[in-house]
């Protein structure tokens, strides 16, 4: 099987699984993370481009929010798929990414990260900030039926604006690669601009 065929098989396999995910984890998030990962890898020249593409493609394959309790099963499915489709040599590295990016990284930051993880994690985090990040956050908040914001502190804890402070504004400082740090700068500034305008409009006339 050619590399192109292997990628096509893998795309179909992921797409079928993604069809059950919410739109914050949809196919186009995967596509953007693949593109960002390829870009970072090209600039930094760190890993085999085929491996980077596959790792990005599979990075959310066993996401805990959507696969509660079934992470081990997802990893097993993935392992079988890779073996059956001539990708067994990449198996352990891809599974490592799935485990670190999809769920383990939520609980802890691994001490030493390999280059593949550094790339895919940066790409995933870049897609959570900037204009796309704002869109994804409100999309997710709507899906969860969360309020957008409340000036009442207790209520605001559950708002999408609060998610900016809990996560989105922290991501710029967490980038692993120089290339991602450069991309993160503009996206972070956009988050700040968005918040500034949001509060300006929220407070309009309420003096």
Chain residues binding ligand ADP by CB under 6 A are: 24, 63, 65, 124, 128, 133, 136-137, 140-141, 160, 163, 167-168
CB of 139 to ligand ADP, least distance (A): 7
CB of 10 to ligand ADP, least distance (A): 19
- What does 137 interact with, of ligand ADP, Ni ion, none (CB < 5 to 8 A by kind)? ligand ADP
100 is a site residue for Ni ion (CB under 5 A): no
- What does 128 interact with, of ligand ADP, Ni ion, none (CB < 5 to 8 A by kind)? ligand ADP
Residues 117-136 that bind Ni ion (CB under 5 A): 124
CB of 144 to ligand ADP, least distance (A): 7
Residues 17-76 that bind Ni ion (CB under 5 A): 60
Residue reference for tokens 């949809």: 26
- What does 141 interact with, of Ni ion, ligand ADP, none (CB < 5 to 8 A by kind)? ligand ADP
Nearest-angstrom CA–CA distance, 203 and 63? 38
Nearest-angstrom CA–CA distance, 78 and 91? 8
Cα 188 to Cα 140, 170, 195: the distances in Å are 19, 9, 11
């Amino acid at each position: 099987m050619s590399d192109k065929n292997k990628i096509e098989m893998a795309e179909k396999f992921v797409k079928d699984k993604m069809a059950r995910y919410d739109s914050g984890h949809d196919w186009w998030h995967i596509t953007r993370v693949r593109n960002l990962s390829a870009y970072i890898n090209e600039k930094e020249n760190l890993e085999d481009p085929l491996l980077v593409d596959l790792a990005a493609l599979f990075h959310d394959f066993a996401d805990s929010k959507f696969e509660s309790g079934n992470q081990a099963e997802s990893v097993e499915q993935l392992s079988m798929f890779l073996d059956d489709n001539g990708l067994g040599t990449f198996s352990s590295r891809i599974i490592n990414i799935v485990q670190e990016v999809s769920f383990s990284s939520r609980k802890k930051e691994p001490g030493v990260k390999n280059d593949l993880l550094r790339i895919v994690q940066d790409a995933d985090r870049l897609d959570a900030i900037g204009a796309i990040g704002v869109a994804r956050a409100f999309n997710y908040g709507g899906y969860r039926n969360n309020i957008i914001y409340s000036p009442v502190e207790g209520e605001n804890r559950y708002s999408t604006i609060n998610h900016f402070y809990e996560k989105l504004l922290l991501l710029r400082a967490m980038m692993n690669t120089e290339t991602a740090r450069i991309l993160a700068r503009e996206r972070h500034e956009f988050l700040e601009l968005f918040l500034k305008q949001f509060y300006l409009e929220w407070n309009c006339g309420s003096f």
